[in-house]
């Protein structure tokens, strides 16, 4: 078997690999940060002053709502594309991409309508005052008119990346960012367009991104759009949404945080000497400055994802530990440097956004020094969340990510200022949330690494493909407890042909360098949403590609029996494949599971439900078809007659098929 390209992830020096993968990620994310921050730099240095920045800070979380939808559909389509590539089934990709464009356009028009009808109410809800409402309205109105372009440009970005063109994807973002940066000073200062100039610079930048991204659709690699691609297909849309829902939740969490924070700042700002507008202007700037730091960390750990994922799968746990240690050190170093800068030079940072009045400068200094005082912990929490995602622990990833922001920060933002009776309570919510978040993150990491060292690292014995003769290939899918594995083995023995179940895992492990039991657990049970995302990660895609390749190599050797792994779908283009589904009454299966594993009745029921759900999830993710539906198989048979009798019936059926 050929060597898998990604095996170098398990052998090359980790620091060298990190430089290769992380630097492009960091640069791309920093460019994205500048895209968000450049408006506020130029606005703050114009005659608009902090009121202009207040307006953009109010509008920003509202635009994040639109981006939550755009990125949900975009990331969902990208994951769908990746999964389709993994199962070598690219004929329906065009429908997914076309449907993504259609639904994004529809949602953008609905978003425009809702925002235009309730604009002032929405802006006031996000912290606008009577002083800032007119500027916020002017800025938001221009953005809304071009919302379809704004959303489509961002939506297409992930698709381009998944289509195998990450550099083109990054280029489309860079073009938009540079356009925005060039036009901001021209519109704001030279043409004296004020807040509307900033909005037009943003929109034209987004239009540039959209044009570059849309042009890519004429030169795609794995799909070609047709007119019928854009007709909504709710089954396709359902898959896209399931794959993108994690992104949507993450973005909406940001909206919720911004909304609550702005409301509390506006309320307590009104009863303080700062007023409602200064705090919102400052927090918007501080959050965007902070985003530069957090994006450096995200770039480092996202670059480390393929290294962590591969070595975790290959059970090279020392390399997993070493990679984590390097990334953790870099995270702490970046966090500490940022903390020193924030604590020592807050005035220098805030001066970049224009010289404002004394009250503004006072609150800005206070905010930077308090709100960002434990930024190192924030960075470590974010890094840990993405680390858990990289090693296939989505539940841990979500717990770490949301605990700090949703469980701690939002309640603290509401409670602390009411306890302290002043606006400083809003600022202290961030470092206290960081402390509480780290008390959840550290124990989870400790438990993970303690268990990591105790897992079985034994290697399976080297095996080769078994010789066979031309003839039919039998694929067997089965319900848990139906004795499908044993029945498949009996069929193979009676026909004197090779039988593949555990040997298949070992062959895939040899192909990829991953551990055989890691390969065997690809179809473990998990919530469907997280499971689809898990299957779309790089090491899992590589394992699945290798698995499909091995199944085809087995089939090319001749007649055989293959159990599980959606082999019936992988071999769908082979004319000599007989697809069998083995099922049985639940009571019968419970009894068999109790006999085979010495389970109690309750344990047997739980095992059956868990295993059947896992197989259904895996089959649907691999094939897009429904697991266990009769029309997907040539023979569905109830095994309650007993394993031997069922095997005999199958053999007779196969002989009849062969004689026709």
Look at the alpha carbons of 597, 603, 605, 609 in this order and tell me if their dihedral is positive or negative.
negative
What one-character DSSP code corresponds to residue 574? -
Alpha-helix residue ranges (DSSP H) falling in 13-92: 14-44, 49-86
Do 409 and 453 fall into the same domain?
yes
Please give the pLDDT value at position 2: 37
Do 26 and 89 fall into the same domain?
no
Do 219 and 266 fall into the same domain?
yes
Residues of the chain with pLDDT under 50: 1-5, 456-460, 525
Calpha distance 527→534 (Å, rounded): 10
Residue 467: inside a domain: no
Calpha distance 254→31 (Å, rounded): 20
Calpha distance 525→591 (Å, rounded): 22
| Closest C-alpha among 293, 272, 287, 290 to residue 362 | 272
Please give the pLDDT value at position 40: 83
Please give the pLDDT value at position 423: 94
> Which residue reads 């065009």 in tokens?
94
Please give the pLDDT value at position 87: 54
Residue 499: φ, ψ to 5°: -120, 130
| Closest C-alpha among 233, 216, 122, 142 to residue 173 | 216
Calpha distance 150→104 (Å, rounded): 10
Please, which residues have CB within 8 angstroms of residue 645's CB and are 6 or more apart in sequence?
none
Helices (H) then strands (E): counts for the chain: 26, 5
Inter-residue contact 323 to 9 (CB < 8 Å): no
Inter-residue contact 473 to 574 (CB < 8 Å): yes
Do 20 and 143 fall into the same domain?
no
Please give the pLDDT value at position 537: 57
Q: Which of 271, 292, 313 is the last residue of a domain?
A: 271
Calpha distance 608→630 (Å, rounded): 20
| Burial category of 544 from C-beta neighbours within 10 Å (exposed 0-12, middle 13-18, buried 19 and up) | buried
Give the domain extent around 390.
8-45+275-457
Do 75 and 41 fall into the same domain?
no
Residue 465: inside a domain: no
Residue 33: inside a domain: yes
Please, which residues have CB within 8 angstroms of residue 134's CB and are 6 or more apart in sequence?
none
Do 123 and 186 fall into the same domain?
yes
Inter-residue contact 654 to 471 (CB < 8 Å): no
CA distances to 111, 146, 527 from 135, in Å: 20, 18, 45
Please give the pLDDT value at position 428: 96
Residue 635: φ, ψ to 5°: -145, 125
Residue 464: inside a domain: no
Residue 553: inside a domain: yes
> Which residue reads 């344990």 in tokens?
603
Residue 463: inside a domain: no
Residue 3: inside a domain: no
Do 480 and 583 fall into the same domain?
yes
Q: Which of 457, 487, 503 is the last residue of a domain?
A: 457
Please give the pLDDT value at position 542: 67
Number of residues that this document lists for the chain:
660
Please give the pLDDT value at position 368: 95
Locate 277 and state its tokens.
Answer: 């507008």
> What total number of domains does the chain contain?
3
Please, which residues have CB within 8 angstroms of residue 577's CB and are 6 or more apart in sequence?
472, 473, 474, 475, 555, 568, 571
What one-character DSSP code corresponds to residue 657? H
Calpha distance 155→101 (Å, rounded): 8
Do 193 and 100 fall into the same domain?
yes
Please, which residues have CB within 8 angstroms of residue 32's CB and are 6 or more apart in sequence?
173, 177, 295
| Closest C-alpha among 134, 218, 157, 217 to residue 35 | 157
Please give the pLDDT value at position 16: 82
Give Cα 170 distance to the centre of its chain: 18
Please give the pLDDT value at position 455: 52
Do 262 and 352 fall into the same domain?
no
Q: Which of 271, 304, 335 is the last residue of a domain?
A: 271
Please give the pLDDT value at position 39: 81
Calpha distance 32→29 (Å, rounded): 5
Please give the pLDDT value at position 457: 47
Please give the pLDDT value at position 4: 44
Look at the alpha carbons of 570, 573, 574, 575 in this order and tell me if their dihedral is positive or negative.
positive
User: Other C-beta atoms within 10 Å of 2: how many?
Assistant: 7
Calpha distance 501→494 (Å, rounded): 17
Do 145 and 98 fall into the same domain?
yes
Q: Per DSSP, what are the bridge partners of residue 500?
A: 562
Residue 466: inside a domain: no
CATH code of 501's domain: 3.40.50.300
Calpha distance 78→155 (Å, rounded): 10
Do 437 and 562 fall into the same domain?
no
Do 80 and 194 fall into the same domain?
yes
> Which residue reads 């000599």 in tokens?
576
Please give the pLDDT value at position 89: 61
SS3 (DSSP) at 475: strand
> Which residue reads 């791309």 in tokens?
28
């Amino acid at each position: 078997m050929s060597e898998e390209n990604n095996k170098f992830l398990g052998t090359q020096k980790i620091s060298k690999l990190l430089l290769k993968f992380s630097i492009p990620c960091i640069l791309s994310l920093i460019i994205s940060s500048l895209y968000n921050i450049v408006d506020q730099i130029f606005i703050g240095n114009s005659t608009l002053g902090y009121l202009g920045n207040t307006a953009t800070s109010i509008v920003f979380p509202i635009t994040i709502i639109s981006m939550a939808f755009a990125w949900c559909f975009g990331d969902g389509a990208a994951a769908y594309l990746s999964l389709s590539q993994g199962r070598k089934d690219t004929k329906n990709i065009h429908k997914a991409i076309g449907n993504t464009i259609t639904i994004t356009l529809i949602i953008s028009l609905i978003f425009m309508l809702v925002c235009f009808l309730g604009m002032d109410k929405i802006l006031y809800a996000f912290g606008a005052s009577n002083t800032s409402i007119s500027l916020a309205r002017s800025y938001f109105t221009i953005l809304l008119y071009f919302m379809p372009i704004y959303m489509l440009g961002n939506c297409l970005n992930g698709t381009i990346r998944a289509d195998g063109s990450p550099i083109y994807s990054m280029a489309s973002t860079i073009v938009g960012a540079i356009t925005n940066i060039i036009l901001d000073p021209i519109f704001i200062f030279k043409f004296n367009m004020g807040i509307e100039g900033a909005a037009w610079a943003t929109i034209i930048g987004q239009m540039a991104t959209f044009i570059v991204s849309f042009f890519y659709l004429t030169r795609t690699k794995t799909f070609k759009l047709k007119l019928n691609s854009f007709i909504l297909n709710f089954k396709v849309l359902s898959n896209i949404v399931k794959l993108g829902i994690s992104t949507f939740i993450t973005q909406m969490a940001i909206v919720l945080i911004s909304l609550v924070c702005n409301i509390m700042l506006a309320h307590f700002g009104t009863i303080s000497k700062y007023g409602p507008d200064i705090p919102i202007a400052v927090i918007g700037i501080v959050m965007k400055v902070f985003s530069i730091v957090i994006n450096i960390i995200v770039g480092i750990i996202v670059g480390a994802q393929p290294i962590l994922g591969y070595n975790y799968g290959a059970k090279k746990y020392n390399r997993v530990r070493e990679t984590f240690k390097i990334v953790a050190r870099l995270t702490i170093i970046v966090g500490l440097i940022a903390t020193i800068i924030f604590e020592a030079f807050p005035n220098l940072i805030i001066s970049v956004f224009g010289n404002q009045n004394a009250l503004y400068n006072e609150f800005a200094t206070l905010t930077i020094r308090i709100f960002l005082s434990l930024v190192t912990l924030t960075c470590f929490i974010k890094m840990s969340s993405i680390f858990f995602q990289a090693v296939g622990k989505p539940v841990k990833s979500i717990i770490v990510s949301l605990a700090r922001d949703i469980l701690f920060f939002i309640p603290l933002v509401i409670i602390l200022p009411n306890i302290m009776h002043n606006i400083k309570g809003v600022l202290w919510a961030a470092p206290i949330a960081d402390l509480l978040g780290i008390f959840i993150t550290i124990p989870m990491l400790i438990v993970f690494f303690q268990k990591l060292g105790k897992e079985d690292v034994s290697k399976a014995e080297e095996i080769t493909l078994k010789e066979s003769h031309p003839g039919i290939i039998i694929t067997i899918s089965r319900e848990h407890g139906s004795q499908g594995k044993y029945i498949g083995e009996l069929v193979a023995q009676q026909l004197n042909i090779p039988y593949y179940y555990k040997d298949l895992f070992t062959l895939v492990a040899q192909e990829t360098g991953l551990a055989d039991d890691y390969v065997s657990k690809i179809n473990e049970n998990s919530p469907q949403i997280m499971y689809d995302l898990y299957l779309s990660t790089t090491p899992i895609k590589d394992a699945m590609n290798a698995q499909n390749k091995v199944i085809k190599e087995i089939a090319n050797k001749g007649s055989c029996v293959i159990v599980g792994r959606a082999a019936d779908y992988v071999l769908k283009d082979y004319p000599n494949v007989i697809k069998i589904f083995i099922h049985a009454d639940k009571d019968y299966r419970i009894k068999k599971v109790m006999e085979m594993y010495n389970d109690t009745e309750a344990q047997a029921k739980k095992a059956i439900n868990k295993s059947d759900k896992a197989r259904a999830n895996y089959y649907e993710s691999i094939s897009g078809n429904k697991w266990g539906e009769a029309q997907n198989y040539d023979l569905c048979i109830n095994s309650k007659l007993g394993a031997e009798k069922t095997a005999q019936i199958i053999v007779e059926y196969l002989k009849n098929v062969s004689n026709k």
